[in-house]
Amino acid sequence: MYDPTTWPTVGAFFEAIDRFLEASPLINGPVSIPLSAVLALLLLWGLLRLVRLRAASGEAQSVETAPDEDIQDAEITEETTGVMEPEPTAVHPEPKLEAVEAPAELVAEDQPSDEEIEAELEAVADEVFEEVLPEEIVVEPEPEPEPKPAPKLSLFARLRKGLTKTAGGLVGRIDQLVRGRKIDDEFFEELEEILFTADLGPTTAEKLLTHLQERVREENIEDAVMIRDILQEEIAKILRPHEAPLDVESSKPFIVMVVGVNGVGKTTTIGKIAKKFADEGKRVIFGAADTFRAAADEQLQVWADRAGAEIIKQKPGADPAAVAYDTVQAAVNREVDLAIIDTAGRLHTKHNLMEELKKIKRVMSKLDAAAPHEVLLVLDANTGQNAIQQAKSFHEALGLTGLILTKLDGTAKGGCIVGICDELEVPVRYIGIGEQMDDLRPFIADDFVQALFEAAKG
């Protein structure tokens, strides 16, 4: 059955069994069990142990190395069959991992139990959550919805936002001045400095200062804070008579000539005005008399398309007066309601520009003695005090009949309009509060002043 010389340990084991069995009452006693049956049972027990040992050693190996599932399968087949089987087809496309020597702590006998590892992981997770959660993770955010266009601010809110800069310069400084102050000579000196360095212009600053001093005297005002309210009232008084939106009913066609320095927003404003009147059912025609800039007529064409207006244009470099003439003639022939002539905007200090504009105006009056019925000056609200000088120059040359103040949605210095209104007897037709078609509003003095003063409160 076995050879004790070649397999001494196993041989000794079976000899011991033989001796045990011979003495055993199971064999020699009253109940006799065949020796072969006992041996078969022992063999079975031995085999079961072997299988369990192998299983345990397999687990230990999987901790020591991290082989791919496929590699493990291949090794087992090799060992158990002794035949080299072909590499099984890889299920995963990823490259196979190289089995690596596990670091000492992984194979060490005193490995922490599963419970210990779990507890450790929970503790670390808690720590991470405590530190990171409040600031960085908070709650897993809902997937971002499609960004909606920002809701349009009310006119007042937009004005207020835009006028912050002026407020910082004028109303903001007034606020600082009046806080906890007595009204005395020193107070008026400081007030004078603030008014003269604001965008109001010296004439208007002087006028406002005089009015404030008079009212303090007449009304026995002692509280400096009252100065703020009085100033607001006085500025509103200057602006109120200048509220007068454009009225085009007095003539058909009503001819408007739009002037202003480069980039103030003439062309954009023309588009906005056209849209407004087109919406009221009026037929509008544009005259592209800015022949100085090559792309000017294309820009006007875009606005014509948007507003549904017709357009008269010639080649770049053409005589702008001729374009204006053609436009008025077309407006008469086509019986349109409103003709708006766009013009070039070189610096107002350039004599040629003013002469060119005068010529355009003169030529139009040849067709209709009253034309243009409106000469609109467009002013950029960011221009500051220089806007007053611009307005004066255009007024002297052309006799302005209306003003438009644009870009009041930006960081505007709307204060200049106070000086312009005070010095020039010209109404403010509209204000521009953005680049879009509907960003044109009638000028409402009280809204404007309120926004100016409210903006300073932040």
Residues at the site binding ligand GDP, with contacts judged by CB under 6 A: 260, 262-268, 345, 406-407, 409-410, 432-435, 439
CB atoms within 10 A of CB 411: 14
Choosing from 242, 266, 282, 313, the residue that interacts with Mg ion (CB under 5 A) is 266
Q: Binding partner of residue 112 among ligand GDP, Mg ion, none, CB under 5 to 8 Å per kind? A: none
CA distance 290 to 266: 10
Spatial CA neighbour of 372 closest among 404, 335, 400: 400
- By rule CB under 5 A, what string of x and - marks binding of each residue 369-388 to Mg ion? --------------------
Q: Which is closer to ligand GDP, CB of 235 or CB of 258? A: 258
| Contact call for residues 316 and 355 (beta carbons, < 8 A) | no
CA distance 227 to 44: 110
CA–CA distances in Å: residue 149 to residues 145, 152, 156, 235, 261: 12, 8, 19, 36, 33
DSSP string, 254-288: EEEEEE-STTSSHHHHHHHHHHHHHHTT--EEEEE
Both structure tokens of 125: 């997770």
Q: CB of residue 202 vs ligand GDP: minimum separation in angstroms?
A: 27
232 or 383: whose CB is closer to ligand GDP? 383
Q: Residue 238 touches which of ligand GDP, Mg ion, none (CB < 5 to 8 A by kind)?
A: none
Among 267, 291, 343, 406, binds Mg ion (CB under 5 A): 267
- Minimum Å gap between C-beta 143 and ligand GDP is 34
- Closest separation in Å from C-beta 415 to ligand GDP: 17
Output the smallest distance, CB 337 to ligand GDP, in A: 22
Is residue 165 part of the contact set for Mg ion (CB under 5 A)? Answer: no
Q: Which is nearer to Mg ion, 405 or 452 (CB)?
A: 405
CB closer to Mg ion, 267 vs 383: 267
Phi, psi of 3 (to 5 degrees): -110, 110
Place of tokens 């596990």: 102
Q: Which does 407 bind (CB under 5 to 8 A by kind): ligand GDP, Mg ion, none?
A: ligand GDP
Pairwise CA distance, residues 154 & 347, whole Å? 34
Amino acid at 315: K
Q: Cβ closer to Mg ion: 340 or 452?
A: 340
